[in-house]
């Protein structure tokens, strides 16, 4: 009788543990499903509209209100990286070392868009660990925030806070807030931390996807532009 009760109690504990594991697994699956859905939405956005952060389409860097490049980095490691130009990350070249390096782990940059744009997604890119000249990605940005600014570049609207994950693909999409019915002429990217490099941080590429607004006014209907 005692053996039967002991066996029954043990089985009950095993059932409870199994239920707990199933619940944890279900939660993990739901989280992964949500992340996959968000990734698909972000990828869909990037295939439907143009990149408005390219210098070739008229985007530019507001040098006066952006942090300076870490020039000393490329003077010391001149054989590993391109000249430390602030506008390298609005260029299509993402070769290893061709990045914007800045001192420390915090910085900001203002991108002047070619037109009034209602941003949908921002893409941030760093090199992979395999392709990195130093064999590490500790200089990659980690936590960052994105703001939209008006024509004068003074009135800021937070569009989202994100984390660039070095264990994922080098090019990562981040959907911006959809509930802001506004277009902006400037986007400000604020890097708040990196992945462990105390001396400097490197930003390889930033892409901005969204809808262009007619020049006659922000209230006009937005028109999506599709890459040719």
E strands, the chain, where?
A: 60-61, 100-103, 107-125, 143-149, 156-163, 171-175, 184-191, 200-203, 205-212
Pick 43 or 202 by higher pLDDT: 202
E strands, 73-139, where?
A: 100-103, 107-125
Q: How far apart are CA 176 and CA 145, in angstroms?
A: 10
Contact 121, 209 (CB under 8 A): yes
- CA 83, 89, 93, 95 dihedral sign is positive
Angle at 31 between CA 30 and CA 36, to 5 degrees: 95
Residue spans of the domains in the chain: they are 1-48, 50-212
Whole-prediction pTM value?
0.66
Tell me, rounded to whole angstroms, the distance of Cα 79 from its chain centroid: 28
Q: What is the pLDDT of residue 78?
A: 38
Mean pLDDT of 166-178: 91
Whether 42 shows a pLDDT value over 60: the answer reads: no
Residues 68-78 pLDDT 10s: 665 444 434 43
**171, 179, 170, 204: which is closest to 91 by C-alpha?**
204
Where does the pLDDT of residue 122 fall: very low under 50, low under 70, confident under 90, or very high at 90 and above?
very high
As a whole number, the mean pLDDT across the chain is 74
Q: What is the pLDDT of residue 162?
A: 97
Q: What is the pLDDT of residue 193?
A: 96
Q: What is the pLDDT of residue 203?
A: 85
SS3 call for 39: helix
Longest dimension (CA), the chain: 87
Mean pLDDT of 31-59: 65
Q: What is the pLDDT of residue 227?
A: 34
Mean pLDDT of 4-13: 62
Mean pLDDT of 127-145: 84
Decide yes or no: CATH 1.10.10.200 for domain 50-212.
no
């Amino acid at each position: 009788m005692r053996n039967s009760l002991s066996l029954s109690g043990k089985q009950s504990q095993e059932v409870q543990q199994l239920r707990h594991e199933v619940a944890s697994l279900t939660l993990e699956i739901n989280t992964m499903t949500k992340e996959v859905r968000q990734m698909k939405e972000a990828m869909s956005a990037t295939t439907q509209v143009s990149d408005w952060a390219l210098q070739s389409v008229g985007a530019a860097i507001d040098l006066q209100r952006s942090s300076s490049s870490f020039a000393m980095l490329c003077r010391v490691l001149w054989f590993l990286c391109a000249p430390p130009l602030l506008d390298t990350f609005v260029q299509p070249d993402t070769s290893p070392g061709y990045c914007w390096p800045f001192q420390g782990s915090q910085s900001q940059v203002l991108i002047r868009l070619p037109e009034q744009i209602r941003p949908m997604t921002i893409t941030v890119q760093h090199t992979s660990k395999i392709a990195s000249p130093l064999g590490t990605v500790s200089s990659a940005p980690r936590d960052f925030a994105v703001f939209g600014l008006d024509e004068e570049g003074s009135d800021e609207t937070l569009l989202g806070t994100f984390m660039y994950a070095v264990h994922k693909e080098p090019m990562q999409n981040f959907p911006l807030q959809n509930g802001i019915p506004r277009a902006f002429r400037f986007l400000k990217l604020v890097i708040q931390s990196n992945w462990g490099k105390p001396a400097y941080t490197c930003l390889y590429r930033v892409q901005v996807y969204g809808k262009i607004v007619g020049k006659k006014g922000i209230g006009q209907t937005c028109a999506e532009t599709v890459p040719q």
